[in-house]
Amino acid sequence: QVLVRKPIGIETAGSLNVLFSDKTGTITKGQLEVVEFFDGSVQDSYDTSSAIQEMLGLCIGRNTGAMFDDHGQVIGGNATDKALLNYLTQARFDALKAVEIEQAQQFNSANKYSAAQIQGKTYYKGAPERLLANATHYLDASGEKQPLDLSIINQKIDQLAEKSMRVLSFAYSESLLVENELPSDLVMVGFVGIRDDVRPEARQAIKEVQDARIQVVMITGDRKETAVAIAKDCGLIQKESDVALTSEELNKLSDEEVKELLPNIRVIARALPTDKSRMVRLTQELNLVCGMTGDGVNDAPALKRADVGFAMGSGTDVAKEVGDIVILDDNFKSIESAILYGRTIYNNIQKFIKFQLTINVAAVAVCAIVPFLGMEQPLGVTHILWINLIMDGLGALALGAEPALRTYMQERPKSRTENIISRSMMGQILGAGAYITAMSLIFLQHPFFTELFDSIGHYLSDTHLTAYFSLFVLIAVFNGFNIRSNSLNLFVHLEENPGFVKVMGSIMAVQVVLTFVGGKMFSCTPLTIEQWGIILVLAFTIIPVDLLRKYILQLLNSKNENIIVLDVQSQGNNYENEKNVLEFDR
């Protein structure tokens, strides 16, 4: 569900520090739905009472401007009517079609209710404050009338309002319908809470993005109370220090005040398009990488200015044109996927660089040192061409398809100024390169190998040159397994990248064939089984050497973490602070 329009967009997505996200349709479902029902006793008795079900069916199914089409989709009416019909279900709606409506009154903003007269009774649907004002009883689960306690109902309505729900009420009367007048004998059938609910997958996606050290800020046109309720529900607001602002409050603050407050901002309500552009500008002035979502024409400037512009699939063509990435399903989960794959691409590029530079460093070092030892160059032009083909094209095929790992979402975002070759990468490249260089010089000069491959003094026989050429290629192949993962388990997630094994296996097979058919072009000659065995053993030694390096690093990291934990505990900080310090250290 992620359409990448500009390749730089998906790569940059992995380095986001701040993500400004729309609410409607991205964090929420983008459609109203009934999420709660209760009767006059503030109990959910809809499923247990056939009387309430029957009355509610008439209040909704025969008192609406919407209907189901042949495909089961609700058409006509407003968003509220559609939500109510979906709650009623098509089967119950179809069962009520035979019920004749004697008289009806459509909803209007002045009355705040609609009504339908059926078989001498009138059924109402409207705002609670309007219907409750003329009600004295409610219908209980057994179908009997009970005295109405307005205080507990109003308390319940207030509680739902805090959860960003809009409450709608239903009632009936024994009186006939009178235009624009409510009778005084209303009996409350029940109440429903309607809300544009949070996507279930968005809660987990937001948590994963936050765990990736990315600050998520929800930007919405809703009122502040509604926005805060949604933000709490989806996990954006969790602490007292988390800040929610309206557009008016935001514009009263200077740029410097906003920058100071920015790390704590979680919600911007009643937002204007200009607020989006301003927040992008201020974030970038702090040297942070920011992403912005949008779907309208007015969002285009902010999408274009952001480091990564996420245009919504249901949005305007203008927004899609300026966006770097189009989220086809408008879902926050897909934004999280874009971030994950952005980080995967970055990590795979780093793996490819390590794979390439390790062998290049060794090749350059060997070619630079052997003349000082009075030896001829062990690698010819055709040898180096084949090695470069392995390092470039085949290496990219093998490592470029490494899977997207959830562990990448636990890494910190990359800085704008950060070198793609990190210190740990440089250590691995130089360490492995030095080992390969040392092994090469020993292989080329030690009497055991010169005698084994029929070399005389500093003159390398064709057999010795072929053996060294094969050794160099096989070391590159085995080192590829070292580079795939920082884990001590070299085969972790290997089944998710079968192409890696195929490419490396193909390289080894071609290398063996070259010793038989390479001839003068590759200065190759066939090797014996014993000679191949020695080459394989020597090439394989690159694996335990690198495993030792990884093990030592893990011990050092574990020791540093223990020191930090002890230091934090000595200062009397709580567990959350300990965890934050450890994450920062990693």
Query: Of the segments 38-47, 48-57, 475-484, which one has the largest average pLDDT value?
Result: 475-484
Average pLDDT, the chain: 88
The predicted model gives 14-18 an average pLDDT of 94
Place of tokens 């001829």: 376
Handedness of CA 415, 300, 231, 264 (dihedral sign): positive
Strands 243-246 and 265-269: parallel
- Beta strand residue intervals within 208-295, DSSP E: 215-219, 243-246, 265-269, 290-294
Instruction: Check residue 314 and give its pLDDT.
Output: 87
The predicted model gives 252-280 an average pLDDT of 93
Instruction: Check residue 556 and give its pLDDT.
Output: 82
pLDDT at residue 451 above 80?
A: yes
Using DSSP's 3-state secondary structure scheme, residue 177 falls into coil
Determine contact, residues 391/193, Cβ cutoff 8 Å.
no
* Per-residue model confidence as pLDDT tens digits over 396-434: 888 888 999 899 999 899 888 888 888 889 999 999 999
pLDDT band at 440 (very low <50, low <70, confident <90, very high): very high
pLDDT band at 460 (very low <50, low <70, confident <90, very high): confident
* Per-residue model confidence as pLDDT tens digits over 561-584: 555 544 544 444 443 444 444 444
Among left, alpha and beta (phi > 0; psi -120 to 50; other), residue 394 is: alpha
pLDDT at residue 163 above 90?
A: no
The encoded tokens of residue 225 equal 């109370």
Instruction: Check residue 577 and give its pLDDT.
Output: 45
Instruction: Check residue 339 and give its pLDDT.
Output: 96
Q: For a pLDDT cut of 90, what percent of the chain falls above it?
A: 52
Greatest Cα-to-Cα distance within the chain, rounded to the nearest angstrom: 117
pLDDT at residue 53 above 60?
A: yes
pLDDT band at 456 (very low <50, low <70, confident <90, very high): low
pTM for the whole structure: 0.77
Instruction: Check residue 561 and give its pLDDT.
Output: 59
pLDDT at residue 557 above 90?
A: no
Let me know how long the chain is: 586
pLDDT band at 211 (very low <50, low <70, confident <90, very high): very high
* Per-residue model confidence as pLDDT tens digits over 292-326: 999 889 899 999 999 999 999 988 999 999 999 99
Q: For a pLDDT cut of 70, what percent of the chain falls above it?
A: 94
CA gap 40, 166 in Å, rounded: 17
pLDDT at residue 536 above 90?
A: yes
pLDDT band at 478 (very low <50, low <70, confident <90, very high): very high
DSSP states of 135-166:
EEEEE-TTS-EEE--HHHHHHHHHHHHHTTPE
Instruction: Check residue 32 and give its pLDDT.
Output: 85
Strands 113-118 and 186-195: unpaired
pLDDT band at 457 (very low <50, low <70, confident <90, very high): low
CA gap 473, 471 in Å, rounded: 6
pLDDT at residue 559 above 80?
A: no
Give the other-Cβ count within 10 Å of 289's Cβ: 22
CA gap 508, 514 in Å, rounded: 10
Q: Mean pLDDT lowest for which of 30-39, 304-313, 447-456?
A: 447-456
What positions carry a catalytic annotation? 22
Instruction: Check residue 583 and give its pLDDT.
Output: 46
CA gap 395, 506 in Å, rounded: 12
Instruction: Check residue 575 and give its pLDDT.
Output: 37
Half-sphere exposure of 315 (CA within 13 A, CB side): 32
Determine contact, residues 17/11, Cβ cutoff 8 Å.
no
Q: Which has more pLDDT, 502 or 163?
A: 502
Place of tokens 């093998």: 398
